[in-house]
Amino acid sequence: MGKPRHRQQLVLTLLFGLWFPCCLTQTTPPSRTNLGPTPSSSPQTERLKVRLAGYPRKHNEGRIELFYKGEWGTICDDDFSTANANVLCRQMGFVSATGWTHSAKYGKGQGKIWLDNVLCNGGEKSIEFCKSRGWGNSDCTHDEDAGVVCKDERIPGFVDSNVIDVSDRNVEEVRLRPVVVTAKKKLPITEGVVEVKHKDGWAQICDLGWTIKNTRVVCGMLGFPHERKVNKNFYKLYLERQKNFFLIHSVGCTGTEVHLAACPMEFSKPNATWPCTGGMPAVVNCMPGPLFTQNSSLKKKIKCLKQLKGGARMGEGRVEVLKDSEWGTVCDDRWNLQSASVVCRELGFGSAKEALTGARMGQGMGPIHMNEVKCLGNEKSVWSCPFKNITAEDCKHVEDAAVRCNTPYMGLENSIRIVGGRSSYEGRVEVQVGSKWGTVCSTGWTTKEAMVVCRQLGLGYSMHAITETWYWDSSNVTEMVMSGVKCTGNEMALSQCQHHKTVNCQRAAAKFAAGVICSETASDLVLNASLVQQTVYIEDRPLHMLYCAAEENCLSKSAAKANWPYGHRRLLRFSSEIHNIGRADFKPKAGRHSWVWHACHGHYHSMDIFTHYDLLNANGTKVAEGHKASFCLEDTDCQEGVSKRYECANFGDQGITVGCWDLYRHDIDCQWIDITDVKPGNYILQVVINPNNEVAESDFTNNAMKCNCKYDGHRIWLHNCHIGKKHKTQNYQL
Ligand SMILES: *[C@@H]1O[C@H](CO)[C@@H](O)[C@H](O)[C@H]1NC(C)=O
Ligand SMILES: *[C@@H]1O[C@H](CO)[C@@H](O)[C@H](O)[C@H]1NC(C)=O
Ligand SMILES: *[C@@H]1O[C@H](CO)[C@@H](O)[C@H](O)[C@H]1NC(C)=O
Ligand SMILES: *[C@@H]1O[C@H](CO)[C@@H](O)[C@H](O)[C@H]1NC(C)=O
Ligand SMILES: *[C@@H]1O[C@H](CO)[C@@H](O)[C@H](O)[C@H]1NC(C)=O
Ligand SMILES: *[C@@H]1O[C@H](CO)[C@@H](O)[C@H](O)[C@H]1NC(C)=O
């Protein structure tokens, strides 16, 4: 059956995952031909690429490889030093090195040994400026390949695949100074005088020759996808009377740059101002993306963006694109800032801050739709860029591309705080309402609300929604100022959620103020849809084999009226394979003390409701409910290189490790839907994992799986099994 061709869409799943990155390619700073009379210009060099290779490694450690004269090669460990490692780490965008390794600790490289007896002072901009025996001159073997361990902290402004060495230039940061001071400052600031930060302070840009392309670059840096025209006359009168300090002039961006520093421009002499005769300070006006606009007609567009999955940080995550109504990832070959920027702008953010390779934001599941994406940077959609289709062995999910986009400053973190907890990631929630800070009523406080708080604070995901906070430091509990909070989960701030107009809480502020425990990482469960499709069948199971199942409520209600032990139940059976593709292990919320022993099946149930199995008719009415299954969670198997941690047997720890899956085979008890009472027809089979969002996940939108189901009274067929939104279900009809 042909799949419907849907309009191709793009989504950024704000998911995290630290897997085994495959390669990290860096280049030296672009040559500086276009820069004006700035001090400290370094010699022009051919771009030297540096990467980390070998095994086992992380994104910040590995064997050093250099790309020189069209060939990758290694460095010999003779005379290697921390100073050398520092130069290499900085060259790859890390703040410094924490160590280095010798004797091919990450495995032996291949090809040339490019450098030997390298002696850096530590301050060099690139390894090629350090003393050595010269390119390709070495008496070493690959047994002596050197490696580095870099501090896992990025140089500010550093971008992953193209280097913009901001430290070397006079443009470090850009901001907008609004000229029109309205009574109430609205964020984000979208219009104003462009100010650039340099080492001695902030300065203006002379707007002679300024183009809308320059504006586009500035807007992109500030988190805005588009630029608008400015009414210059409006500013002219005002700005002419001001004393301006023009540091930069003659800016000539092409519009595809992700940082102003990458545009050609000229600088005034140190500590001198450029005359800018006949000009004025550059002023820009940016158009915010739908997420950041107050315009209600634009807000409607957010609906389609709501598929944007809530992430630890806004505007960052693995790139996923929709093709033939199926979500898939993008392979990181040739993934760069220009392509990443197209993705970012398409999603309503600014240009890209980083183009991440090697599944730095976790591995996706399912198809990989694009490879070797090569955008120029001005395309409206990533689908307009040249790319290659994937053939089977081209790419794996360890190469999933991700982005970190520039987002506008919203000041969201200023109207909320958490207090009393044991660490900066947990505490009682306090919000500012008017000028007053106070607590939030914990009635109805769930993971969804807690997720919004953690996101607003920039602390990632919520591990737990706390409804009793008395055991935290309660010496200074403030008054309750908010109650009845109900979020959809996608809001950027708690104030955007529904809440009571006047505080109405049955619970005491001191004991029952709402609290959160936030975490940078979370699990993410996804069902293997194709396995369900492949394994489905019908079984007429004799009642005498179903005593245990009846005891665990795995049969529909009419089973109670059956003539036990005679007769049978008709069961729709299939296998469920639940993968954890997140960045933290999935663990039941309840501690072991509250797990329930199920003698019949001989294991503990750690979650009351782990999955829902339902059969729905076309209008969403349930015609058969599998049951609210509670299971014993464990790692059935894991992908290569990951070891199992959880096991049900012997009261073992329960959970699903990142990179592992829990398989419920079609032939185990209760792994079915009782369809004894279902008439022949067309239906939807729906499986929802973690349906009450009881355990935190980085993405709840991929927790439902649906299949079209055809039942002729004897046999059953499933097709188009896919991960998708949970079907709106109506009342139970049996
Ligand atoms: C520029 O001025 C700052 C302080 O005003 C001073 O510290 C710095 O040395 C000056 N630079 C030059 C090159 O004169
Ligand atoms: C809101 O956006 C729409 C569509 O872009 C535009 O036509 C309208 O003028 C905007 N309204 C305001 C108040 O900015
Ligand atoms: C990719 O495959 C589709 C059909 O699946 C085809 O229409 C398209 O032209 C191909 N694109 C490239 C770049 O090969
Ligand atoms: C509680 O408030 C008092 C007075 O405002 C302050 O001195 C004290 O440090 C606060 N205690 C805590 C634990 O924050
Ligand atoms: C899903 O199940 C199918 C069928 O067993 C298997 O081929 C495929 O590798 C599984 N997918 C994942 C992501 O493990
Ligand atoms: C849904 O469909 C069933 C039959 O398939 C019908 O009996 C029921 O009334 C429908 N419900 C609604 C709300 O349309």
Query: 271 CA to middle of ligand 1, Å?
Result: 6
> pLDDT confidence of 228, banded at 50, 70, 90?
very high
Residue 309 lies in a domain: no
Strand partners, 76: 145
pLDDT at 90 over 60: yes
pLDDT at 570 over 90: yes
Mean per-residue pLDDT for 697-718? 92
Mean per-residue pLDDT for 565-593? 88
In this prediction, residue 621 carries a pLDDT of 87
40/162 same-domain check: yes
DSSP structural state of residue 269: P
Query: 436 CA to middle of ligand 4, Å?
Result: 17
Give SS3 for 440.
strand
Length of the chain: 734
**E strand spans, 383-460:** 402-405, 416-420, 426-433, 436-440
89/209 same-domain check: no
Residues of the chain with pLDDT > 70, as a percent, come to 84
Query: Does any ligand 4 atom lie closer than 6 A to the CB of residue 473?
Result: yes
544/530 same-domain check: yes
Going by CA atoms, what residue is nearest to atom 7 of ligand 5? 531
In this prediction, residue 627 carries a pLDDT of 65
What the block records as the tokens of 56 is: 């086992």
Residue 69 lies in a domain: yes
588/509 same-domain check: no
141/208 same-domain check: no
Query: Does any ligand 3 atom lie closer than 6 A to the CB of residue 388?
Result: yes
Find out whether 416 and 493 touch, Cβ atoms under 8 Å.
yes
596-601-607 Cα angle (round to 5)? 35
CATH assignment of the domain containing 224: 3.10.250.10
Query: Does any ligand 6 atom lie closer than 6 A to the CB of residue 621?
Result: yes
pLDDT at 164 over 90: no
Give SS3 for 38.
coil
> pLDDT confidence of 170, banded at 50, 70, 90?
low
85/178 same-domain check: no
418/552 same-domain check: no
Cα-based distances in Å from 110 to 84, 115, 270, 497, 581: 21, 14, 48, 57, 33
Query: 388 CA to middle of ligand 3, Å?
Result: 8
In this prediction, residue 392 carries a pLDDT of 58
Alpha-carbon distance 660 to 655, whole Å?
A: 10
Higher pLDDT, 604 or 442: 442
In this prediction, residue 302 carries a pLDDT of 42
In this prediction, residue 268 carries a pLDDT of 80
Q: Which of 293, 297, 299, 300 to mutate to test the pocket of ligand 2 (most atoms within 8 A of CB)?
A: 297
pLDDT at 117 over 90: yes
- 522-543 burial, b if ≥16 CB within 10 A, otherwise e? bbbbbbbbebbbebbebeebeb
pLDDT at 2 over 50: no
> pLDDT confidence of 626, banded at 50, 70, 90?
low
546/692 same-domain check: yes
> pLDDT confidence of 145, banded at 50, 70, 90?
very high
Residues of the chain with pLDDT > 90, as a percent, come to 39
Mean pLDDT over each residue of the chain, to the nearest integer: 82
Report the amino acid identity of residue 581.
I
Query: Does any ligand 3 atom lie closer than 6 A to the CB of residue 323?
Result: no
Quick: pLDDT tens for 510-546: 788 999 999 988 899 999 999 999 999 999 999 999 9
Going by CA atoms, what residue is nearest to atom 10 of ligand 6? 619
Residue 297 lies in a domain: no
In this prediction, residue 39 carries a pLDDT of 29
Query: Does any ligand 4 atom lie closer than 6 A to the CB of residue 477?
Result: no
Residue 305 lies in a domain: no
The total domain count for the chain is 5
Quick: pLDDT tens for 321-363: 888 877 888 998 888 899 999 999 999 999 998 888 878 788 8
Quick: pLDDT tens for 361-375: 888 887 898 999 999
Q: At residue 152, what are phi and psi to the nearest 5 degrees?
A: -80, 65
Find out whether 15 and 318 touch, Cβ atoms under 8 Å.
yes
pLDDT at 133 over 80: yes
369/480 same-domain check: no
Mean per-residue pLDDT for 675-699? 91
Report the amino acid identity of residue 726.
K
Query: Does any ligand 1 atom lie closer than 6 A to the CB of residue 40?
Result: no
103/49 same-domain check: yes
Q: Which atom of ligand 5 is nearest to the CA of 366?
A: 13
Residue 306 lies in a domain: no
pLDDT at 166 over 70: no
Going by CA atoms, what residue is nearest to atom 2 of ligand 5? 531
Give SS3 for 12.
strand
pLDDT at 487 over 50: yes
Structural domain boundaries enclosing 380? 316-405
Tell me which residue of 438, 428, 223 sits closest to 341, measured CA to CA: 223
102/47 same-domain check: yes
Query: How far does CA 648 lie from the centroid of its chain?
Result: 31
Q: Which atom of ligand 4 is nearest to the CA of 473?
A: 13
Quick: pLDDT tens for 285-330: 999 998 888 765 555 544 343 354 545 778 888 998 888 877 888 9
Domain boundary among 480, 501, 519: 519
Mean per-residue pLDDT for 73-80? 94
Q: Which of 199, 200, 247 to mutate to test the pocket of ligand 1 (most atoms within 8 A of CB)?
A: 200
Cβ-based neighbour number of residue 685 at 10 Å: 25
| Lowest mean per-residue pLDDT among 65-74, 483-492, 606-615, 621-630 | 621-630
Q: Which atom of ligand 1 is nearest to the CA of 200?
A: 3
Domain boundary among 463, 484, 519: 519
389/472 same-domain check: no
Higher pLDDT, 608 or 471: 471
Alpha-carbon distance 261 to 270, whole Å?
A: 17
